[in-house]
A and B are shown apart, each in its own frame.
Chain A
Amino acid sequence: MTHPIDVDVERGRDALEPPQSYFVPATDVYETDEALTLLAEMPGVKPDGLEVTVEDNVLVIRGQPEAAAGDDGNVLLKEFEVGAFYRAFQLPADYDTEKIEASVKQGVLTLRLPKSDRLKPRRIEVKGE
């Protein structure tokens, strides 16, 4: 396995298990020579509403958007609902989960997992005779 795959977390693993109902954030995943980066869309979630957990190489991201303030009056069109975000990924073994960096901007969570040193591309010098 070289990239994260979605995983179901069984009930009873408190730190990882999903909430009763949730939205699955659309996520892009890309790899560079140095790191693996996940970009998850979680509109309405502030930094303090975010939770990122790693246990046994299972990465869980959660987000709780801020409740809409005040009375919005009569609803004329409803194309999206506001609710908790949740997604769990099984991570490939070769990333340094101790060094995950997380940031959020414009409702997009960015997670950067540096590759462990042995996975980084290395140029092998070929010696002549």
Chain B
Amino acid sequence: MALIPYRGRRMPATTLSSLRDEMNDLFNRFWSTASEPFGLAEWSPALDVSETDDAVLVHAEIPGIDPKELDISVVGDTLTVRGEKTDETEQSGRNYHRVERRYGSFTRSLALPAAVDADHVTATAKQGVLEIRLPKKEEAKAKRIEVKGS
């Protein structure tokens, strides 16, 4: 699956040029979601992925998601994260003035950049940030090759 760039949270426009960016962004987002049937646009958490010599690190922003509601799996070289953010907005007795948070279930798959040892993947969630550490298989680890002089 191709990775889809995410524009991230925007800071408020403070100058004219950033206002223009904001408008362009709004326009782009409108058209990018308009291709899907209205109301079915999926929500998925923003990811950061990085690679060190011996591991692949994935961070995801999952504020308000109970770690127990997460399902993380590695099949071959694909990492899949599934989860659900329970929609509380339907609870009775609550009169909502503003709903900006996104709710519902999501699935996100990612092609990993290196072969990983699926048996030793660890995942921790702290303050709504998920960290998945995927140790590389021995053969995928970077090795320093000594260059011998003559």
Residues on A close to B: CB < 8 A?
Answer: 2-4, 21-24, 26-33, 39, 41-46, 65-66, 68, 71-81, 104, 106-108
Contacts and interface: CB of A to CB of B under 8 A. Distances in A.
B30 to A, nearest CB: 18
Q: Give the interface size class of chain B.
A: 35 or more
A65 B48 CA distance: 16
Contacts of B102: 26
B64 A44 contact: no
B21 interface: no
Interface in B1-34: 3, 5-6, 8-12
Which 5 A-B residue pairs are closest in the complex by CB-CB distance? Answer: A107-B128, A73-B52, A107-B63, A3-B97, A79-B6
Contacts of A33: 93
Contacts of B61: 43-44, 80, 107
Contacts of B101: 26-28, 39, 41
Nearest to A108: B64
A7 to B, nearest CB: 12
Contacts of B65: 106
Given A73-B57, A78-B48, A80-B9, A28 B98 contact: yes
Contacts of B12: 24
Interface in B34-86: 46-53, 55, 57, 59, 61-67
B127 interface: yes
B125 interface: yes
Contact of A76 (B50, B100, B127): B50
Given A30-B95, A72-B57, A22 B11 contact: yes
Contacts of B53: 73
Contacts of B59: 68
